[in-house]
Structure 1
Amino acid sequence: MRRSICTQYRSKLIAVIVAITLLSLSARAAADGLTDAEHEIQPALEDLYKARAEAFVNQDIQKLKDYYLDEKISRIALEHEHNQIQYLNKWSDKRAIQLTHSQCAIRIIRQRITGDRAVVSLVQSHRIGYMYENRFLPEQFFGVGTRHFITLKKKDGRWKVSREWYLDPLDENPKKISDGPDGLAPSVKAKSSEPPKSQKYNRKRAVEYANKYAGAAWGAGNRHRYNPKYLDYTSKGGDCTNFASQIIGDSEGGGLPARGNWRYFDRSGGTQTWVQTDSFSRFLIGSGYGKLLAKGTYEQITRPSDQYPDSAISSLEPGDLIGYILHNNDTDHFSVVVGFDDYGYPLVNSHTADRYRVPFDLGWDSETRYQLFHIRD
């Protein structure tokens, strides 16, 4: 709240305080080599991403418009955020879930400012909470992480979004979300998130590895960074399969020994079977390390069948893998099952984009087909 200053003394005092503050800021800027404009970027971006995170719950798109320019490319960026918000809320409706919490933190990697224009790369860690409707269960949380390249333009004293690019885990059509009976897959039974003991494949360590190295996603360990032992294939088509291979094969993870063409070399990186989705999918079955329990749409893998009375998805255990097929019969993505929420819904971790304990079908649509791989113990 602003208060009017009536006396000359108070006016001078305020002037002195302001002058000291400005001098302090200038000295700090000189000390760390940053300009005044560069010091403005961090709070401007924190305000922007805070408003965007809150919009997932309050769906106040009108408020978000204030952060964007009235230009075509900027409007496209805003429409993308609108679509993302619609998708998450529509998915929540279909799963009988109420979004309760949305909060994010950002870390600026680099910034370049030229006049009234700033180009920034940053990492966002986003925490989302939800509760099941008509079920007495505690609030659940999951995290996603994204890497952003954003251009800002200063207009009327404010830095606003000119354009933005990032790999969005929720970039799907809100009108194409799979339906579930009663808003859920009721055959997904609540089970312990503690991985069972095994001989050959260490499920407990596999899950711990997946949680530690889930990258930028909220909740991940290792200071939100990937395992430095491995190359990051994000810019080479995606890091999801590289991460899945690490989870089941690294000695810190599941510990399955390298076999055939499934290998990682310290200097040259992973083989095609290690990093490429289709090759890895075929390897899991051909090597005997994995068993394909089922392949099908959301509706097909969540409904009871003669083979799986509780549904195929209910047969997965922590440490098992899910492949995602988008086009033709090619596997496009891999995630690892790390546990179940308090209702019993399977939760997954992955890279590209980074996910931490995210509901397994969030970010996918009704045309997605799922491959359910059980890793043999």
Structure 2
Amino acid sequence: MMAVTPAHLPRVPYDRAAAVAYAHRWAYRRNPAYYDYEKLGGDCTNFASQCLYAGTGIMNYTPTYGWYYIDANNKSPSWTGVEYFRNFVTRNKVNPGPVGELSDMDSVELGDFAQLRFQGREAFSHTPIIVEIGEPRTLDTILVAAHTYDADYRPLSSYTVDELRFLHILGAYPPNIIEF
């Protein structure tokens, strides 16, 4: 029997165009299907998760450690939390839902995510989606959409940050891919 490893698992492709189209549609508005967490610390990662879901169509309903949204009070920490979002996406090796990796600026694509640690802050606290990449590739030519600091086509260079990282989305694992 062959061991199940991430390299052997089928992945659903990430529909980058769908994620970016969703970002443009809702950058300055709120989709009524989702709660607006603006008054509870910010809505940026909720918006990032909505965009990612628009491009994958797969959630992971594992309590606490999954990546899902049912309603305002029934969602995973990774749906709305910057660090939890990064952890779920980059550490998901075999479970349903999106999978990705930390990346550099030269490897990002449309629909990937930036995470920002603002000056004077100890932790990363903002997750915009990349909606346009110009050449030459610089922080001036990578444009993002976001909530909390609502934006569309905003250059990454316009943020005052101490640290920046990128999350490259590889696709998503479908539910029930491993049968025992």
TM-score bracket for the superposition, by shorter chain length = 0.7 to 0.9
Q: Does 1:372 align with 2:176?
A: no
**2:23 corresponds to:** 210
Q: Shift of the alpha carbon at 1:255?
A: 2.1
What secondary structure does 2:27 align onto?
Answer: coil
Q: Shift of the alpha carbon at 1:278?
A: 1.3
Q: Is the 8 A contact 1:322 1:372 kept in 2?
A: yes
CA offsets per residue over residues 318-361 of structure 1, 9 Å max, x none?
Answer: 00001112333x22110100012465511100001101011113
Q: Which has the higher contact order (CA 8 A, sep 6+)?
A: 2
Find the aligned partners of 2:80 and 2:72 in 1 and give their Cα distance: 15
Q: Is the 8 A contact 1:201 1:256 kept in 2?
A: no
**2:87 corresponds to:** 282
Report how many residues are paired: 147
For the pair shown, the structure with the greater C-alpha radius of gyration is 1
**2:14 equivalent among 193, 201, 216:** 201
Given the superposition, is the C-alpha separation of residues 269 and 227 from structure 1 closer, same or farther in structure 2, using an over 3 Å criterion? Answer: farther
CA offsets per residue over residues 147-181 of structure 1, 9 Å max, x none?
Answer: xxxxxxxxxxxxxxxxxxxxxxxxxxxxxxxxxxx
Find the aligned partners of 1:203 and 1:234 in 2 and give their Cα distance: 25
* Mapping for residues 158-197 of structure 1, pairs under 5 Å: none
**1:254 equivalent among 55, 61, 65:** 55
Find the aligned partners of 1:370 and 1:205 in 2 and give their Cα distance: 25
What secondary structure does 2:127 align onto?
Answer: strand
Q: CA RMSD in A?
A: 1.9
Find the aligned partners of 2:106 and 2:82 in 1 and give their Cα distance: 24
Q: Is the 8 A contact 1:242 1:270 kept in 2?
A: no
Find the aligned partners of 1:286 and 1:363 in 2 and give their Cα distance: 27
Q: Is the 8 A contact 2:35 2:72 kept in 1?
A: no
**2:101 equivalent among 287, 291, 301:** 291
Find the aligned partners of 2:130 and 2:114 in 1 and give their Cα distance: 7
Give the structure-2-normalised TM-score: 0.75
* Mapping for residues 263-282 of structure 1, pairs under 5 Å: 263-266=68-71, 268-282=73-87
Task: Determine what percentage of the aligned residue pairs are the same residue.
Answer: 31
Q: Does 1:231 align with 2:44?
A: no
Find the aligned partners of 1:351 and 1:269 in 2 and give their Cα distance: 20
Find the aligned partners of 1:269 and 1:207 in 2 and give their Cα distance: 26
**1:334 equivalent among 127, 143, 160:** 127
Find the aligned partners of 1:256 and 1:369 in 2 and give their Cα distance: 30
Gap runs ≥5 in structure 1: 1-197, 216-224, 294-311
Relative to total residues, which structure has the larger helix share, 1 or 2?
1
What secondary structure does 1:349 align onto?
Answer: strand
Q: Shift of the alpha carbon at 1:199?
A: 4.9
Give the structure-1-normalised TM-score: 0.37
Which runs of at least 4 in structure 1 moved beyond 6 Å after TM superposition? none
Find the aligned partners of 2:12 and 2:70 in 1 and give their Cα distance: 26
